[in-house]
Amino acid sequence: MISAFTGQQIRDTEQPLLDAGEGAVLMQRAAYGLAQAVAREVKTRRTLAGASVTVLAGKGNNGGDGLFAAALLARRGMRATAVLAAAEVHQQALAAFAAAGGRTLYLEPGNAEELAVLCAGDDAIIDALLGTGARGGLRGPSAELVASLQELRPRLVVACDLPSGLDANTGEVHWPVLEADVTVTFGGVKAGLMTDPGEGCAGRVHVVEIGIEESLESQQPELRRLTSRDVGAVLPHPGRRAHKYSRGVLGVVAGSVRFAGAAVLGVHAAALAGAGMVRYAGPQTVGQLVLAQTPEALWEPDEPGRVQAWLLGSGVDGKEQLARAKDAAAAALAADLPVVVDAGALSLLPERCPPHWILTPHAGELATLLDSLPSTGEVAVTRDDVESRPLHFVRQAAEQTGATVLLKGATTLVASPSGVVFSQSEGTAWMATAGSGDVLGGVLGALLAQCAETIKDDDGAYAGLGLDVADRWAALAAVAASVHGRAGSAASAELAGGPITASAIMAAVPRVLGSLNAECDRPRP
């Protein structure tokens, strides 16, 4: 599992070392790691000797890291320039930079554009304007410099610790921000690098160890990301004596005459993701389409028979289908069964949901949901609000409803009502296509049906994740998001990185499950 921490958690962990006079050592480790990363990136394009690098240096320790790194790069033969954004910068770092032969320029009111043109063509730019000590975004000439540079599209931007202007704790972005190709972050991943919109500006994230990593482990991560091994360990696996009922039966109330495809995709995705059986409830015309795609499924016009979990809501439209979803929700609540609550069913929540109710809104639906809750207050939450602060709002929704909430996006966040949040980002932007969410619902529904009866006791699979039992639902939802993202990326990769349909995402699910199992050395069933 990859853990991400707030800037404050990282600073608190550094503090005892700073108190012991180790600050300079930490900075040297950070600078060395940053310089190595820049050198590695430049060398994929050309030789280091004679290549050019500009460091944009602010007045804090982030600027110090950047200047020391640029000094190391100058000593390795790069032509190094520093653009100083403040009158006072880290003195020892500036002295080391000058001693290594670096050239210094001063950012002043009126010369930002000129400096941007001067360094935009460099082989690398290091953004060391603001780090974890930032309050708000870039201002004045620094903001102008970064805005101009962003327009000029530099060849390679490496962010020092985090892109300047990004909130290390929340991932909120105070524009303008210089979008990085690589972010070299120190000691541990900052939460803002694992949630949008911050993650979208950070490029590839590389962690440099500076000696605080062991102490950080005692902190509760702000965000958690499951790796392929974690996902493989949690995925359900049929035992030798399994039969279709013990494998897990999923009941689906999705689709409608108007949105029939949602039912077809949800049911088929669930079957491909390993449900022992899928029972579909809906109008006959839709039932026929469902059976045409998935002859393995059962169509039942009204209430399906016994199930272990429910998928409710995707594409539900009209009185009759909504009534079926309502009945199924009531039955699920009475029988304490896990439920995926998507789209049309998000309006059917009880006053307090259990954590095994997993809501799967996109940003707009989450805004509507929050607005409908009596606890939200007077000011309406908009889609833009959710997109600017997804971590804040997904957590709020989980706390206020009691449900586990999976917020779909380029980075998908899953919040448990306890405040534990997972972040998965394996997908591709091609997955923003009609029906993609219906496939995710099917995959998640299938996982719930397969794990419903074992999740509380299956300590082995969840060992190492350090979670309370109630948070396992969020972990399982993160597994579904990961499988869905991997399936989309695999489908697109097969088409040389081209566009994909929801059906293509769905078709790739079994292969993704197979390779995740293989990676965990699990025997084939």
Ligand X SMILES: NC(=O)C1=CN([C@@H]2O[C@H](COP(=O)(O)OP(=O)(O)OC[C@H]3O[C@@H](n4cnc5c(N)ncnc54)[C@H](O)[C@@H]3O)[C@@H](O)[C@H]2O)[C@@H](O)CC1
Please give the size of the binding site for K ion, defined by CB under 5 A: 4
Residue ranges for the known binding site are 61-65, 127, 131-137, 161, 164, 262, 315, 362, 408-412, 437-438
The distance of closest approach from Cβ of residue 387 to ligand X in the complex, given in angstroms and rounded to an integer, is 22
For residue 501, the tally of other CB atoms under 10 A from its CB is 16
- Contacts within 8 Å (CB) and 24+ apart, 234-241: 234/461, 234/462, 234/475, 234/476, 234/479, 235/447, 235/479, 235/483, 235/513, 235/516, 235/517, 236/274, 236/447, 236/450, 236/451, 236/454, 237/517, 237/522, 237/525, 238/274, 238/525, 240/525
- For ligand X, the closer of residues 23 and 510 by Cβ is 23
- For ligand X, the closer of residues 69 and 477 by Cβ is 69
Closest CA to 259 of 181, 313, 186: 313
With contacts defined by CB under 5 A, name the span among 162-170, 402-410, 418-426, 503-511 that binds K ion. Answer: 162-170
164 interface partner picked from ligand X, K ion, none, CB below 5 to 8 A per type: K ion
Residue 308 in contact with K ion, rule: CB under 5 A: no
The distance of closest approach from Cβ of residue 102 to ligand X in the complex, given in angstroms and rounded to an integer, is 18
383 interface partner picked from ligand X, K ion, none, CB below 5 to 8 A per type: none
The distance of closest approach from Cβ of residue 166 to K ion in the complex, given in angstroms and rounded to an integer, is 8
What single-letter amino acid sits at 307? V
380 interface partner picked from K ion, ligand X, none, CB below 5 to 8 A per type: none
- Contacts within 8 Å (CB) and 24+ apart, 215-220: 215/13, 215/16, 216/3, 216/5, 216/9, 216/10, 216/13, 216/187, 216/188, 219/5, 219/9, 219/12, 219/13
- For K ion, the closer of residues 51 and 55 by Cβ is 55
The distance of closest approach from Cβ of residue 32 to ligand X in the complex, given in angstroms and rounded to an integer, is 11
Q: How far apart are CA 9 and CA 34, in angstroms?
A: 21
Q: How far apart are CA 63 and CA 501, in angstroms?
A: 45
- For ligand X, the closer of residues 199 and 365 by Cβ is 199
Q: In the structure encoding, which two tokens stand for residue 56, read together?
A: 């944009």
Residue ranges for the known binding site for (6S)-NADPHX are 61-65, 131-137, 161, 262, 315, 362, 438
DSSP state of 59: S
Residue ranges for the known binding site for AMP are 408-412, 437
> Judged by CB under 5 A, which of 27, 34, 160, 413 binds K ion?
160
Please report, as ranges, the residues that interact with ligand X according to CB under 6 A: 14, 18, 23, 26-27, 30, 58-63, 65, 130-137, 139, 160-161, 186, 210
Q: Which residues bind K ion (CB under 5 A)?
A: 62, 127, 160, 164
